[in-house]
Amino acid sequence: MTAVPRVTPPAKLKIEKIAVLTDFSKNADIALRCAATFARGYKAGLVIAHAYTPPTYAFAAPEMAFSYQVLEDVRQSLENRLLSQTEAPFLRGINCTTVLHAGGTLDLLDDLADADLIVVGTAGETGLEKAVLGSTAEAIFRASSIPVLTVGPHCHCSGEREIAVRRLLYATDFSPGAEIGFRYAASIVREHGAAFVLLHVKDDQDVSFTFERAMATAEPLEKLEKLLADHADLKPRADCIVGFGTPEAVILEEAKTRKADLIVIGARGAGVFTSALSHFAGGTAYKVAASATCPVLTIRKV
């Protein structure tokens, strides 16, 4: 799978094509509804995409003609399911197309290289359950050079209205690559006139005294404010915060307390997420995406 270089986002994001990955599950339906709100807000088209593995028993059939027929029947059935999704009432007025790929989900990304945003749902598995079942959503935002919007099972969206971002939370640990997430966050804040929460989490629960916290907060707070140095228009609506504790817990709590409509997290490389402490190797970013009550936009530096 080839990486697709991405350019620095302009002051106003241009989103014309949104790809939604579906497995026809309830979680995929939630993601599709969320994608519809973004499509309406950005006047974008939707591509509903699915990847499948052809049944192996077809290749073992004694008659080659039968083998081909089985494969064609499977493909046709999936194409019909995709087409039926484009007819959902909440997609009325949105230009919808479909993509069906015989192969792995990550290979499907090559077919969607011209998309401006990829949307995927997640069931929110964590711990042993996630280890056993794996996470397609996490694999996608580890590999994709296109921004990925992950929609967890706790997100609620009818799909019938435009996206309304009243408050955006951007989480960063200042690692190389995290700045690209800030640029996307700043673009969205400007476009929607949203309140802007910039958050850095210190993974240190032992800093309990007020004086020690004040000392530990000073440097990261200065770094957060420095991000805004060249964005005078954003300063009046920005709030810089330094939290203490496990990154995923603090990000989720701040998002809930401040009623964030969108969380933006930058990501570095295949499997190391910079905006939620890179030594967690993706675990923090996944937990945030799986448990948040709002969509999570993950941007990986390529």
* Rounded CA separation 174/56 (Å): 47
Mean pLDDT of 228-251: 92
String of DSSP letters for 49-65: EEEEPPPGGGGG-SSHH
CB 190 within 8 A of CB 11: yes
Question: Global pTM?
Answer: 0.83
CB 105 within 8 A of CB 3: no
Please give the pLDDT value at position 56.
Answer: 59
Please give the pLDDT value at position 115.
Answer: 95
Q: Is residue 166 scored above 70 in pLDDT? A: yes
- Please report, rounded to a whole number, the percentage of residues in the chain having pLDDT higher than 90: 47
Strand partners, 167: 195
* Rounded CA separation 292/2 (Å): 30
Please give the pLDDT value at position 175.
Answer: 77
CB 197 within 8 A of CB 239: yes
CB 273 within 8 A of CB 285: yes
Eight-state DSSP code of residue 94: S
Helices marked H in 147-299: 178-192, 210-227, 247-257, 283-291
